Amino acid sequence: MNLTLKVWRQKNASDKGSFATYQVNDISEEMSFLEMFDVLNERLIAKGEEPIAFDHDCREGICGMCSMHINGRAHGPWSGTTTCQLHMRAFKDGDTITVEPWRAKAFPVIKDLVVDRSAFDKIQSAGGFVSVNTGNAQDANCIPIPKDDADASFAAAACIGCGACVAACKNSSAMLFVSAKVSQFALLPQGQVERVDRALNMVKEMDAAGFGNCTNTGSCEAECPKEISLDNIARLNREYLMANLKK
């Protein structure tokens, strides 16, 4: 198939940036979206033009590195799918595809489609853990956990930290990301000791990083490639309220 691509090009953080248009012909529908970018980049190199920088690594939908805003949707048209798992079957001959980086104050553009998501690491450092040093653990089966709780915790922990929730949100809120981590631990006995501090500290760090507030539009859940549930945000709100009452 033949496609027209409009891709955001930006030299560096201080450059203003703009869209560049590329005609990309002879694309097979078996290619992944990123393989289509590989082909485009190879053609650019052959012409002596600088290839487009984009983040990617595992190409299996799990590392959370890829981050393209495609035709106005984080990770493109397939729901529950990362950019790397999106395949060209999703498009048809003659389509025009617009590709932008994640847009959020807390995710400044580094170059082209690459953004800085280090704010997520800082939020994690603020409380996304159980404080247990290596070598102090009791036998694993001494902590029985109801299967439903373990499953719910796992469903929250499946978050890949890609930032699609932020990119999809009109307020650039990181509530889905933060709530998934808070929920993972809130649902487990291991997370109880630090439950209050975790909710307070992670929310505080989230606000400091410049993410917006949540207005419950649900676009984060709709665009999340791992289909993390909005229920987690409700849980975070409860956790945060309870924590404030306790402190």
Partner 1 sequence: MSKLDSKIPEGPLETKWSSYKSSVPLVNPANKRSLEIIVVGSGLAGSSAAASLAEMGYKVKVFCFQDSARRAHSIAAQGGINAAKNYQNDGDSTYRLFYDTIKGGDYRAREGNVYRLAEVSAAIIDQCVAQGVPFAREYGGLLSNRSFGGTQVQRTFYAAGQTGQQLLLGAYSALQRQVGLGNVQMYARHEMLDVVVVDGKAKGIIARDLVTGKLERHSGHAVLLCTGGYGNVFFLSTNAMGSNVTAAWKAHKKGAFFGNPCFTQIHPTCIPVSGDHQSKLTLMSESLRNDGRIWVPKKKDDNRKPNEIPEDERDYYLERRYPAFGNLVPRDVASRAAKERCDAGYGVGASKMAVYLDYASAIERYGKQQANKLGETGASKERITQLGKDVVKEKYGNLFDMYAKITGENPYETPMRIYPAVHYTMGGLWVDYNLMTTVPGLYALGEANFSDHGANRLGASALMQGLADGYFVIPYTIGAYLSGQIRDKALPTDHEAFVEAEKNVQDTIDRLMNIKGSKSVDHFHKRLGKIMWDKCGMARNEKGLKEAISEIRALREEFWKDVRVLGGKNELNPELEKACRVADFLELGELMCIDALNRNESCGGHFREEFQTEEGEAQRDDANYMYAACWEFKPGVQFELHKEDLKYERIKVSARSYK
Sites for partner 1 among residues 145-174 (CB under 8 A): 145-147, 150-151, 153-154, 157-158, 160-161
If binding is defined by CB under 8 A, does position 51 make contact with partner 1?
Answer: yes
DSSP line for 218-241: -HHHHH-TT---THHHHHHHHHHH
Rounded Cα distance, 108 and 64, in Å: 17
If binding is defined by CB under 8 A, does position 61 make contact with partner 1?
Answer: yes
Residue selected from 69, 75, 117, 235 as contacting partner 1 according to rule CB under 8 A = 117
Instruction: For residue 11, give every residue at least 6 positions away whose Cβ sits within 8 Å of its Cβ, in sequence order, or none.
Output: 17, 111
Q: How far is the CB of 201 from partner 1 (least distance, A)?
A: 9
If binding is defined by CB under 8 A, does position 62 make contact with partner 1?
Answer: yes
Q: How far is the CB of 216 from partner 1 (least distance, A)?
A: 26
How big is the site for partner 1, counted in residues (CB under 8 A)? 80
Residue of 47, 194, 175 lying closest to 106 (CA atoms): 175
Cβ proximity to partner 1, 18 vs 141, nearer residue: 141
If binding is defined by CB under 8 A, does position 56 make contact with partner 1?
Answer: yes
* 196 to 119, 180, 193, 246: CA distances (angstroms): 21, 15, 8, 8
* Region class of 133: left (phi > 0), else alpha (psi between -120 and 50), else beta: beta
Residue selected from 45, 208, 234, 241 as contacting partner 1 according to rule CB under 8 A = 45
Q: Where are the alpha helices (DSSP H) in 64-174?
A: 118-127, 147-157, 164-168
If binding is defined by CB under 8 A, does position 32 make contact with partner 1?
Answer: yes
Cβ proximity to partner 1, 61 vs 212, nearer residue: 61
* 162 to 36, 69, 187: CA distances (angstroms): 21, 12, 23
Residue selected from 60, 94, 170, 245 as contacting partner 1 according to rule CB under 8 A = 60
If binding is defined by CB under 8 A, does position 209 make contact with partner 1?
Answer: no
Q: How far is the CB of 5 from partner 1 (least distance, A)?
A: 16
Instruction: Copy the structure tokens of residue 195.
Output: 């439950």
